[in-house]
Amino acid sequence: FSNSNVDVRGRVGNTGVFGSVSNQSNQGPIQFLGGYFRNTVRANIDQRWNEKISLGIQSFYSTQRSQGDNQDF
Q: How confident is the model at residue 46 (pLDDT cuts 50, 70, 90)?
A: very high
Q: Over pLDDT 70: what percentage of the chain?
A: 90
Which pLDDT tens digit goes with each residue over 7-34? 999 999 999 999 999 999 888 777 767 7
Give the pLDDT confidence score for residue 65 in this predicted structure. 87
Q: What is the reported pTM?
A: 0.74
Biggest CA–CA distance in the chain, Å, is: 64
Give the pLDDT confidence score for residue 69 in this predicted structure. 58
Q: What is the Rg, in whole angstroms, of the alpha carbon atoms belonging to the chain? A: 19
